[in-house]
Structure formats: structure tokens, C-alpha cells
Structure 1
Amino acid sequence: MRNPPAAAIMSFLVPGLGQFYNGKILRGLFWLLVTPGLWIGTGGAWGWVCHLVSAATAYGYAKRFSGR
């Protein structure tokens, strides 16, 4: 059983970490690689968006499969 808030917090702090926690390795690698690229490439504007989307997807996956 996964804890959805924990997955979201992990992924917000380090994009992809919440996905790793959920067992979604490829999705975690995607967020881990894409987010820093967007932080650098857009001067930070899209970096926040990636952080939030990464956290939301980690939360949603954990909630869907935790039975909560």
C-alpha cells in the first residue's frame, strides 16, 4: 500500500522520487530528466509546472492503487 501524500511530497521535493516510490521507474526517470531541463531551458518558468505535475501524478497513482 502506498501513501498518496507521501508520494506527492517526495515527487515535489525531487521530481520523479514519488514515481520511484510507487514502483514506476520509467516515469520517475522521465520526470527526473525532464524537470531540470525545463528549469534551465525556460529560466524556471516551466520548472514549477513540472514539479506540480510530477507531484500530482505521483499522488494520483498512489491513491488509485492504495485503495484509499
Structure 2
Amino acid sequence: MEGQLKATKFCTNCGAEIDAKAEICPKCGVKQPSSNSPAKNPGLAAVLSFLFTGLGQIYNGQIGKGIIFIVMYSISIALMFVVVGFVTTPILWIWGMVDAYKTAERINSGQLKVGPSNKNANI
């Protein structure tokens, strides 16, 4: 049966061609995302956090982290009345977008698992 082709895929980290069933890349050692978990779109996560800080984290499945961002952002807006908020609000807003984007990438690469079994571990 030499003529049969083996199913392959490409590593999400290094791009090496690996067996389609491989869970870890033999070249770089990075865990590959499982096919049963839906991929998160990093761009969408960042845009949601751009529109409202914390929404990107909620989209990524980190509900607690998203709520913490929303509360911190609300407090920061209130602090604008004492000038401190003019510094903290943009920092939190940018931090929320960057965190949402990078977290979605980590979820897709298999470095971070978010789900019902460990939802408190990712806050």
C-alpha cells in the first residue's frame, strides 16, 4: 500500500508538515489546536474590545476576566473627574484590545484552553 497518501496538516507555530492526527508538533513541540474546539478570531476579539473594553475577553470565553475589565474600565471613567482617569482609561482600553487579540491567538495555538472544565483558571 505504498501508493496511499497520509493525511497531513501544518503546524500552527512553525509551519512544518505533520501528521493530521498529531496533537504536538514533533519539530517545535507546540500543542496543536484540537479540531473539536472552534477557532477564535483574534481580529474580532480586538475589535470587540475596541468597541467596549471586556467584550473581547468574553468572546474568548473568559467571562470573569471580561467582567473585571468592564468594572475596571467603569471605575477608570469615573476617575476622569479627578484627572487620573485620563491616564488610566486609555491604558485599560489598549490593554483590553491587546489582551483579547493575544489570548485568541493562544487559544488557537493550543497554549490556552478555555472552557467549562477550567473557566476559573483563566481569569
TM (normalized to structure 1)? 0.90
Amino acid at match of 1:50: L
Gap regions ≥5 residues in structure 1: none
Alignment of structure 1 residues 1-68 onto 2, 5 Å:
1-41=39-79, 42-67=84-109
What do you get for the CA RMSD once the two structures are aligned? 1.1
For 2:95 and 2:59, locate their aligned partners in 1 and report how far apart those are by CA, in whole Å: 16
Runs (4+) of structure 1 exceeding 6 A deviation are none
Amino acid at match of 1:51: W
Give the structure with the larger helix fraction: 1
For 1:45 and 1:52, locate their aligned partners in 2 and report how far apart those are by CA, in whole Å: 12
CA offset digits 1:43-65 (Å, max 9, x no partner): 42210100000111110100111
For 1:43 and 1:50, locate their aligned partners in 2 and report how far apart those are by CA, in whole Å: 10
TM (normalized to structure 2)? 0.52
SS at match of 1:64: helix
* Pair member with larger Rg: 2
* Contact 1:15/1:31 (8 A) holds in 2: yes
SS at match of 2:53: coil
Q: What is the CA-CA distance between 1:37 and the residue it aligns to?
A: 0.7
Gap regions ≥5 residues in structure 2: 1-38, 110-123
For 2:76 and 2:40, locate their aligned partners in 1 and report how far apart those are by CA, in whole Å: 28
SS at match of 1:44: helix
